[in-house]
Structure 1
Amino acid sequence: MENILETIHRSFEKELADLVCRKVKHQDYCQDIIQDVYLKILLNRSKIEKADNISAYLTRLTTNTVVDYYRRKSKSSVTNETLPETSSEPDEAVDSTYKLADCCLRSFIDSLPEIYRNAIIMVELDALKIKDYAIAANITLTNAKARVQRARKMLREVILQCCNYEFDSYGNIVSCKKNEDQSCCK
């Protein structure tokens, strides 16, 4: 009889890898996260065997692993900011571009009307699912989706009014220059 781990690997390997790599664009990080997924599968083998829908369980486990990766990454970037600077000049230039890009993100968010501000904070910053936000805000899921979409659009407009951004073909920020006639960034 085939081991549950071998069955999962054989049956879900491509699906899980695709799920991770769609969410994480860097191939090396993608492979690291897939390793973490398989480690969690190994540690949760008994729960997986008891699951009614193994595919759904593995999808949730994989998604949570990706979220954990981004949380660790954001915590390490905060830690790295407090370390003494020992970087070379090109890295400092990139750092200053990112600092300018997010120079006053919180003030931009705070400038939104309250319902949109709460939506963007809960969904984007607190990583709450839109479904959970809808429950917390006591609104329908459709309403929550529309509210978050409007909040994102409003935030984008405010940010683009403040600074001039240059994007690459993938939509990543290449450079950011403060509009001299705007006093939005302090």
Structure 2
Amino acid sequence: MNRCISCVWDDFSIPLKRYIKKRVSNEQDCDDILQEIFIKIHNNIESLENDNKIHGWIYKITRNTIIDFYRRNDKNHLSIKLPENLGNFKEEELSNNAEIASCLKVMVDNLPDIYKEAIILTEFQNMTQKELSEKTGISISGAKSRVQRARKMLKRMLLECCQLDMDRRGNIIDYKHKSSECKYC
């Protein structure tokens, strides 16, 4: 790896701080998140095989760290609304997966509340389906059904809106909006 951590700090600290500030309102939380990001970068920079991918790699760490921050601070309270600007990316930061992810956020917001709750708790807050059943007071099979139905609804919305080309690992390599009037993207 040709990059030293101080070079990464010099190149990314200011843009990352700006990026975080748009998504987290408290200044101390922004500083804590930035510090956590650079610890992760420092601990994992040797695993980055291609210097050309450092930009996307760092912004992925940043986005995931912000999501972790919201998860940690909302354990006992279900926030049906995800932070509005969490999926927003600058054009140079945008990848196909990231853009589709921002569309999915809007799609999740458009699900009926019981399905929205099931997806947010299981997919974004890493709750098991058993924990979902206990929290909502329904059977385990009922919880599984809700999650499955929510996933099917999201898939249907996505496929109505976009034509996706995926690699064999399921990453989106290209997509095209089917209509310019898609209400999600």
TM-score by length of 1: 0.49
TM-score, structure 2 length as denominator?
0.49
Give the structure with the larger helix fraction: 1
Which one has the largest radius of gyration? 1
